[in-house]
Structure 1
Amino acid sequence: MSDGARSLDSIPYDIFYNIASGLECQDFIHLSRVNRSINTLMRSELIAKKSVEYHMSHTKEGQLALRKKIGYREAIGRLYDIKEAFATAQPYSVTVLSYGKAFLYNQGFLCYIHANEIRVLDVHSAKDVEQVLNIRTVLRRVFPDLIPEEEDSVQLSLLHYSDGIVAFLCEICDRGESWLIAVDMTEDRKSGRVRVCKQLQSTRRLFVRHNQAYLYYGTHSALGIHGYHEWSIQCVNLKDRQDITQRPVVLDGFAGSEIGQTVCFDIYKDHLYAVTNQVNFEEEEVDWTSYYVWACIPPSKDPKSVKLNRIWRRQHREGPINDTWTDISLRKDEATERLLILECRREWKDGRSENVRSYYTQPLLSPEEISQNGHKLNISEKQEQSRSAESASSVSSALSESRPPSMRFLPDEPLTMTLDSSSKPNYEPPKERLGRYVHAEYSMEEATILRRDFILAKTKCRTYNPSASAFLDLVNDPKQDSGHSIPRDRLRIRTVSRKRRCPIDEDGDEGEKGMLFKPKLGAEGRPIEWSEERFVSRGIKLWPPDNAPEELSELLCPSKRTGRVYAIADERSLVYSVDTPGMEEQAIILISFDPKIQFAGLKRLSSTTVIQAAEVKGPIDIERPRAGEDSRKRKATFLDQDAADSESPRHPTPSFRTEPAMHLGVKRGYWFR
């Protein structure tokens, strides 16, 4: 060390405080492990409090710390453990939560159907009790004229669970009727549990999104003047059970019909956000730019307030897309609670032979920002603004004058001469993407050297955890056994994660060796925030490893042949079920990356081979992706007549009760560390 240099732990405390209090949880923990002196300084609750308030105030652990339920230093440690476990495929436990015909998993609560009852379990808190709703009792109260023969034809489909309320579709097949029912499952509510009971005219691609105040439901059933179906959406006030929308809100010009692949919906600050990655109902033969089209629907009686907006998505020249792998959803940023579009695209970038899966995130405006900035422009207004802004830099005046008005600002190239007045091309110059908003599964160099892929049919669940910067796949990877000609199916977790690279260009990849990476400059010559960040892959991890105990493999995959797998993941766990032939109800399995989710009765699996995930270090043959069945489709179930016969007419089953959780009787699971 030179004479004037000083170590970090010797600088004044106020300077160290300003540095340390601005760190995210990973950097906070890593800094605390540098040496003993810094570790002592980092134990300060004051420093930890500032870090939580700045970066983690919207996380579950951050909220607990702000409410004085746990310490700030403890909150940071918990978050770090969860993110590391997720990123490195090192779960803390696996357990069978229950057996059911269908389930939902949201906000850390498992909602499932078992024996004509809807049951709700708080998974994140590892509760020993469940709230139970008897479906037949509720239906008899909602439909007093329902006769026993009609009860046998009732079919239920779980639609959405949030804030203690479950929404489900009730189809009375003998009557040809479909009803949307929402029931309050909170324990302290004594009466009036049915919050919504609406007869539906159509169930075509029905979706429901709700919180504790409002419920939005929509169908892809409105017919536009162009001859294509459009989304028709309505809103109900859950507090007074009154319709807010006097007539359905039709998203005119909002293309896309496949929820989760081309469109997505979610509630954010009582508003329903709708996003699609499709611009037009019909593809243009010659086109340049793709957009996200989105709408923010307020809980208002005036449907005219809904406008369509669009954001640049990609240029078509970036390469073809394998649409069977496309996935789109809405998430909340843990640090800012801003709503984000999260989309997975598998692309042949720049037309290369290797296709790479990447996740892209795009922030959206909040309802307050929309109102303050007057950002309610429809598609045509947006298009004219973007075209006018770029006209001078993209087209020569002579060529512009010879084109129709709708194509005045297209790029000056021979391809534009093939267009006519009926063409509706989209063009906007390419935009710079920040590294934090793009995560490619492989770099172009890795895609040809080190790769381990599974075809779509063997990828039973695919998702992304922005908090841990990790791909998470649940894959079928049968173990090759020389003693059997046909190996048993085996479910494994596959993760691909990344971390921030050292901000110093140690190898001189982008400039002078030993200097900081330089930020990119914006249009006005100013540095773009976060553009100096660089990332490095942490590799591919598979869990459990090949030498894992057989009992663990059988618990993870109850059936010798995996049929349909229905799976849902959040930031700290994965819940799934596997359809088993001959079984009406399937095991619902939890893989937990949270050390605080501790269910009773779990056995400790002492084998050290299970603790470490297998790391892929060499290339193997790559199976090309192909279309497969979407495991996100909700499952439906008919009411069980045997369970109905067991009910006594003199002592009818109460509609709601609290009783011991099913996992207490199952007691199947393992604790790894």
Structure 2
Amino acid sequence: MTPRTLLITPPRTVSKLQRLPYEIMAYIVEYLDIDEIFDLSLSCRHFQYLVKEESFCRAIIATQASHTAEAREAQRTGQFSRALRRVAKRRQAFSRASPYVVGIVALADSYEYIHGILCYIVEARPKRWLRILDLHGSASYELVVDIPTLVQEAVPRSATSRKYKFRVLYHANGITSCLFSFALPNTENWLLIFKADEQLIVAALQLDSAAKIFVRNNKDYLYVGTHSEEGADGFRKWVLMGYDIEKRSWFSRKMHLTDFVGYDIGSTVCFEIIDDYFYGLSNQTDFEIRETDWNSYYHCFRFPLDDPDVKNKQTMKTKDSWRRQHGEGPIDDRWSFLKLEKDEASGRINIVESRKEWLNKKSGSLQSGSLRTYYVTEVIFDENSKPDSDGESATAHGNLPAEQIITSSLTRYLNKPPGSDIRFRSPENVHPGDDSSMALVFTRSQTHLRAYQRCCSTYLDLVDDVSSGSLGPRHLRLRTGFRKSQTYWPSWKYSDYNYEVEPKQKSNEEPAYPYQPNRVYFWPPKQDTSNRTPFVDDIYQILNPPGCLGGIISTSDERSVVYATGEDTNGLKILVYLSFDPAARLAGMLREKYVLGEQDMSSLPSNETEGGYHSLEAGKDRCMRHFGSTDKLIGDLSRHPLPSYISDIPSMHTAIMSPPEGCKPWASTEQPMYWNLPGKIFAFAH
């Protein structure tokens, strides 16, 4: 009888961290952000419950991402674990310039991309179409509006006018607002508000002026603003009109913003509807530049949507709205942008501004020169005080009438010597970007998109990189820069490391700046002329369609980028779509391996050795940790070994309501245009 051999498997070593009870891990996770929780879950199978256990994920979403689209979807479906993984992947993909979907989605004469909805116009005279595609919702259909039929229904007297202009102003909550202009014989401007899926014209308003016109709305209220009111001082001012959508009526009072300075939306002024308030923001405080303006303040106000009255208007106070001191250096306004953004975790409203400045003195190792910096300021209103009370206002001249602007109060706020009103900036609210010392600096003409997302501490550019080695005369690439904490440093400690105009001398034991240098990524990766990858060439062909040399019109949000490039033989612009959302799905897209962004090692200081900056292999290890698989690393970009998978085409699941009796139908649903385009849409495996 053959003796049996007993094999004894040595016990597997389990770390002390893995032995911690569920409740203790819950306390630990409170001190980690979503990216770190996601990374921890990938480190070993024992921690996978961190991103798979529903009740655990519900708590994380509630504290760190309760004001995201993923959280709202999870509230409906109960899938909080999916929401957490989706948020983590979206933020990491955005930070590392590694989109999940890229493709040509439409050909258009003009377009607007608003809150994930693509509204584009195709003109094939005498017919014109407005097509509406929900990209965030991965819709399998487009709403198609017959523009001539719509304008005839909304403004019958325009029927005899053959020439007219029609452009989209805004779209939100299924409501589309457009500007319709025609001459018969004098030019008339009309605001058309409609719901295409209901064949409903909500309102048609003839406008006195369309100067700098904008529209904002939610499901209940709509506001239209124009820069058209002549002030006593000779400067034009903003005026707002409000509309109650449920009652189908305009408010009797207009809002005259006599003390609101600035006219360039997105650069010097910003308007948004957030929750139940209308917000206005300006980074200017005077209609004229004065030599006494040592300090600059934001002017931010709000009023409730249901009662647009001056007596209800709240304005940020001076102590909360300090912007900068002009002694910090001159600004190159070509690089500036201004926006209001809702924090994904807390729901607080923040001012986000990008400025390129020539700073004379900067902290740390930065030398004097130009620096592009992203500043964040929390919007604060005193809830206990009456609207526009007698306290100090946020502007140079407060809420004084226009004729009283040039008074002693102007000197009170602005006539201060440099250094008399030094304010301290927390490092978490100041993100230094590109400076003149970088090896590769792109000019303004090479930078076609400038964006910043505070949720992942990342700035994003769409640049024309002539050194990328791709095919064709233009080489558009994504470029991102994001930062991580030097060590774990709770936000309540940031006050010890104030970023200021004249920084104080810190002790040797304290870090001068609690963040690592920016990690810069490019996408697609640079192609080597001696060893080209056909798949990456295909991506370059999508981003840079052959023969398209016209201007670039671009826009973005926290999960996607859309831009129009050049014109084809029919004069239509090509619309390119990139999505960082792992849940993005477009019918008919080709499945390929995930192409990671390529880290720019030259952007790092020569003495920087932070956790793998100096090592490409260490960078690959980090990618493995973030994305969990070696076959997704840069350098392994070959096509999928199986034939490219073409996704099933979802069935169309919406129906357009019949128009009112006696009216012609002017809206319908059709297959998305990209189904019939010869270009490819790639979705990368993840």
> Normalised by the size of structure 2, how large is the TM-score?
0.76
State how 1:409-428 maps to structure 2 within 5 Å.
none
State how 1:277-426 maps to structure 2 within 5 Å.
277-299=283-305, 300=307, 302-306=309-313, 308-310=315-317, 311-350=321-360, 353-365=368-380, 370-374=382-386, 376-377=388-389, 381=393, 407=411
Partners in 2 of 1:618 and 1:362 — Cα distance?
A: 31
Check conservation: 1:180, 1:199, Cα contact below 8 A.
yes
Check conservation: 1:89, 1:493, Cα contact below 8 A.
yes
State how 1:137-286 maps to structure 2 within 5 Å.
137-148=149-160, 150=161, 152-174=162-184, 175-185=186-196, 187=197, 189=198, 193-244=200-251, 246-286=252-292
The residue that corresponds to 2:506 in the other structure is: none
Task: Please tell me the residue identity of whatever aligns with 1:17.
Answer: A
Partners in 2 of 1:283 and 1:336 — Cα distance?
A: 37
Task: Please tell me the residue identity of whatever aligns with 1:321.
Answer: I
Partners in 2 of 1:406 and 1:225 — Cα distance?
A: 18
Q: What is the Cα deviation at residue 312 of structure 1?
A: 0.6
1:664 aligns with 2:675: yes
State how 1:2-151 maps to structure 2 within 5 Å.
7-21=16-30, 23-40=32-49, 43-70=52-79, 72-115=80-123, 116-148=128-160, 150=161
Partners in 1 of 2:408 and 2:182 — Cα distance?
A: 55
The residue that corresponds to 2:421 in the other structure is: 429
The residue that corresponds to 1:644 in the other structure is: none
Check conservation: 2:396, 2:414, Cα contact below 8 A.
no
Task: Please tell me the residue identity of whatever aligns with 1:360.
Answer: Y
Partners in 1 of 2:250 and 2:283 — Cα distance?
A: 30
The residue that corresponds to 1:591 in the other structure is: 578
The residue that corresponds to 1:468 in the other structure is: 456
Query: CA, structure 1 residues 542+358, in 2 after alignment: closer, same or farther (shift >3 Å)?
Result: same
Indicate which of 437, 442, 465 corresponds to 1:454.
Answer: 442
Query: CA, structure 1 residues 141+242, in 2 after alignment: closer, same or farther (shift >3 Å)?
Result: same
Partners in 1 of 2:556 and 2:414 — Cα distance?
A: 43
Check conservation: 1:559, 1:578, Cα contact below 8 A.
no
What secondary structure sits across from 1:281 in the alignment?
Answer: coil
Partners in 2 of 1:298 and 1:517 — Cα distance?
A: 35
- Residue by residue, what CA displacement relative to the aligned partner does 1:245-296 show, whole Å, maximum 9, x if unpaired? x243111121111111111111112322111100111111133211001121
Check conservation: 1:544, 1:613, Cα contact below 8 A.
yes
Query: CA, structure 1 residues 222+27, in 2 after alignment: closer, same or farther (shift >3 Å)?
Result: same
Q: What is the Cα deviation at residue 476 of structure 1?
A: 1.5
Check conservation: 1:475, 1:494, Cα contact below 8 A.
yes
Check conservation: 1:436, 1:533, Cα contact below 8 A.
no
Indicate which of 523, 526, 532 corresponds to 1:543.
Answer: 523
- Residue by residue, what CA displacement relative to the aligned partner does 1:81-106 show, whole Å, maximum 9, x if unpaired? 11111111111121121222211222
Partners in 1 of 2:461 and 2:497 — Cα distance?
A: 36
Query: CA, structure 1 residues 536+374, in 2 after alignment: closer, same or farther (shift >3 Å)?
Result: farther
Partners in 2 of 1:120 and 1:106 — Cα distance?
A: 11
- Residue by residue, what CA displacement relative to the aligned partner does 1:563-588 show, whole Å, maximum 9, x if unpaired? 22111211111111113265332222
Query: CA, structure 1 residues 410+555, in 2 after alignment: closer, same or farther (shift >3 Å)?
Result: closer
What secondary structure sits across from 2:676 in the alignment?
Answer: helix
Check conservation: 2:315, 2:387, Cα contact below 8 A.
no
Q: What is the Cα deviation at residue 480 of structure 1?
A: 7.3
Partners in 1 of 2:113 and 2:347 — Cα distance?
A: 21
Q: What is the Cα deviation at residue 463 of structure 1?
A: 0.9
Check conservation: 1:520, 1:532, Cα contact below 8 A.
no
Query: CA, structure 1 residues 381+573, in 2 after alignment: closer, same or farther (shift >3 Å)?
Result: closer
The residue that corresponds to 1:647 in the other structure is: none
Q: What is the Cα deviation at residue 503 of structure 1?
A: 2.0
Partners in 2 of 1:453 and 1:173 — Cα distance?
A: 47
Which blocks of at least 5 consecutive residues in structure 2 are unaligned?
1-14, 362-366, 399-406, 499-510, 528-532, 605-661
Query: CA, structure 1 residues 504+316, in 2 after alignment: closer, same or farther (shift >3 Å)?
Result: closer
Q: Once structures 1 and 2 are overlaid, which stretch shifts more, 37-46 or 228-237?
A: 37-46
State how 1:465-544 maps to structure 2 within 5 Å.
465-479=453-467, 488-503=473-488, 520=496, 534-544=514-524
The residue that corresponds to 1:398 in the other structure is: none
Task: Please tell me the residue identity of whatever aligns with 2:567.
Answer: T
The residue that corresponds to 1:633 in the other structure is: none
Query: CA, structure 1 residues 379+492, in 2 after alignment: closer, same or farther (shift >3 Å)?
Result: farther
The residue that corresponds to 1:646 in the other structure is: none
- Residue by residue, what CA displacement relative to the aligned partner does 1:577-626 show, whole Å, maximum 9, x if unpaired? 113265332222111112211212223456xxx82323222269xxxxxx
Q: What is the Cα deviation at residue 302 of structure 1?
A: 3.0
Task: Please tell me the residue identity of whatever aligns with 1:142.
Answer: A
1:556 aligns with 2:543: yes
* Number of aligned residue pairs: 571
Task: Please tell me the residue identity of whatever aligns with 1:463.
Answer: A
- Residue by residue, what CA displacement relative to the aligned partner does 1:451-496 show, whole Å, maximum 9, x if unpaired? 42211111111111222221111112235779x9xx6112111111
Partners in 2 of 1:206 and 1:578 — Cα distance?
A: 25
Partners in 2 of 1:9 and 1:94 — Cα distance?
A: 39
Task: Please tell me the residue identity of whatever aligns with 2:75.
Answer: L
What secondary structure sits across from 1:323 in the alignment?
Answer: strand
Q: What is the Cα deviation at residue 551 of structure 1?
A: 3.0
- Residue by residue, what CA displacement relative to the aligned partner does 1:418-454 show, whole Å, maximum 9, x if unpaired? xxxxxxxxx9722221222221114x7xx52x44221
Partners in 2 of 1:412 and 1:579 — Cα distance?
A: 49
Partners in 1 of 2:95 and 2:354 — Cα distance?
A: 18
Q: Once structures 1 and 2 are overlaid, which stretch shifts more, 21-30 or 98-107?
A: 21-30
Task: Please tell me the residue identity of whatever aligns with 2:496.
Answer: K
Query: CA, structure 1 residues 573+518, in 2 after alignment: closer, same or farther (shift >3 Å)?
Result: closer
Query: CA, structure 1 residues 502+337, in 2 after alignment: closer, same or farther (shift >3 Å)?
Result: same
Partners in 1 of 2:32 and 2:489 — Cα distance?
A: 17
The residue that corresponds to 2:665 in the other structure is: 654
> Normalised by the size of structure 1, how large is the TM-score?
0.78
Check conservation: 2:298, 2:394, Cα contact below 8 A.
no
What secondary structure sits across from 1:471 in the alignment?
Answer: strand
Check conservation: 2:293, 2:415, Cα contact below 8 A.
no
The residue that corresponds to 1:526 in the other structure is: none
Task: Please tell me the residue identity of whatever aligns with 1:543.
Answer: W
Task: Please tell me the residue identity of whatever aligns with 1:161.
Answer: H
Partners in 2 of 1:372 and 1:532 — Cα distance?
A: 38
Task: Please tell me the residue identity of whatever aligns with 1:223.
Answer: E
Partners in 1 of 2:211 and 2:584 — Cα distance?
A: 38
Partners in 2 of 1:375 and 1:533 — Cα distance?
A: 39
Which blocks of at least 5 consecutive residues in structure 1 are unaligned?
1-5, 387-402, 416-426, 506-515, 523-530, 621-650
Check conservation: 1:96, 1:669, Cα contact below 8 A.
yes
What secondary structure sits across from 2:369 in the alignment?
Answer: coil
What secondary structure sits across from 1:340 in the alignment?
Answer: strand
